[in-house]
Copies of this chain bind each other. A is one copy, B any other.
């Protein structure tokens, strides 16, 4: 499975994996793909620095990248305290009552309370870029589309290509105009921020719109080698995956109640492809999440409209912390794509990658038979 991106990045397979876990990211890179570490959870740049040092020591010199969350337009932002004041009390009351109704325990008094995931703030995302560029990263991806022009220039000056997510051909063209090197065409099926247009329609549309200027990675609905074959048949030069690696054996985030999978992994293992919802409740922009008693509460009559980004994340951040710290798989706030229906066992990263490659080969041989018979 070899495309132009393999030569460009020095990787064996054109498989790019976004993950918040450095253990998973490193394992992907070691297995011949490109691990891309999500930075949004690092409120303190020093924590990111420490994790990237770990990455440098654990990737056997294989390439890896980072993923930041940075809007193209710099929003007005103040201190965390100022932003806090913009969250209406009625919304706070709804969240407090919902958590009580769902039986989610408060944080222990001594737990570090984050005041929102500050990674959503522009200044913090910039610090992520600064820290990352001190390491031998091979890619900076931005979950919110084009980063600001000066960030793209800074990455290019350091010889690092920039990738940006797009949910429409129009967005993709704008990214290419801004100098983005790789467009990640993210279909409706995807976990996290996602648009209305399904992968089957979106991917070839974006390929046709920008492939003379930017490489295209297919995202949204990929978990098996057959889907990799479909993505490459539709003209993508590689795939961008996330959800399917949340049930990797190496995925070490989240609470574990005893041996075996973590609480969040238990929730994922039991879900079908129909058990996701696409809502603004996670960040203020539409994002696909695992359906849970938490998402149900926001769908119930009388629930408030979610706030705009970044206020919604400030509103729900402590709720996310509380749910993450509890051991109840029915009450989670977890971005995941519809491919969750196929995430039915815990597997090592190397096994997942091996199936992607062998499944791709089997699918293409079957197509040959259909074509040649």
Could you list which residues of chain A lie within 8 angstroms of chain B, going by C-beta atoms?
Answer: 1-3, 168-169, 187-189, 196-202, 204-205, 220-222, 224, 226-227, 229-235, 272-274, 337-339, 341-342, 360-361, 363-364, 366-368, 370-371, 373
* Copies of this chain, tallied across the complex: 2
| Partner pick for A200 among B3, B187, B235, CB 8 A cutoff | B187
Question: Are A200 and B229 in touch, CB under 8 angstroms?
Answer: no
Q: Given A205-B273, A205-B342, A342-B205, verify A233-B200 contact (CB < 8 Å).
A: no
Q: Given A188-B198, A198-B188, A273-B205, verify A367-B364 contact (CB < 8 Å).
A: yes
Question: Are B198 and A187 in touch, CB under 8 angstroms?
Answer: yes
Chain B: minimal CB distance from A209 (Å): 11
Chain B: minimal CB distance from A226 (Å): 5
Of all chain B residues, the one with the shortest Cβ separation from A225 is B233
Residues of chain B with a CB closer than 8 A to A364's CB? 233, 364, 367-368, 370-371
Residues of chain B with a CB closer than 8 A to A235's CB? 226
Apart from A2-B370, A187-B200, A188-B188, 9 more pairs, CB < 8 Å: A196-B274, A198-B198, A198-B200, A200-B220, A200-B222, A201-B273, A201-B339, A204-B226, A229-B233
Residues of chain B with a CB closer than 8 A to A337's CB? 201
Docked Cα-Cα span, A371 to B3, in Å, equals 9
Interface centre among A230, A337, A373 (most CB of B within 10 A): A230
Docked Cα-Cα span, A367 to B2, in Å, equals 10
Residues of chain B with a CB closer than 8 A to A168's CB? 273-274
Interface centre among A198, A224, A361 (most CB of B within 10 A): A198
Question: Are A224 and B204 in touch, CB under 8 angstroms?
Answer: yes
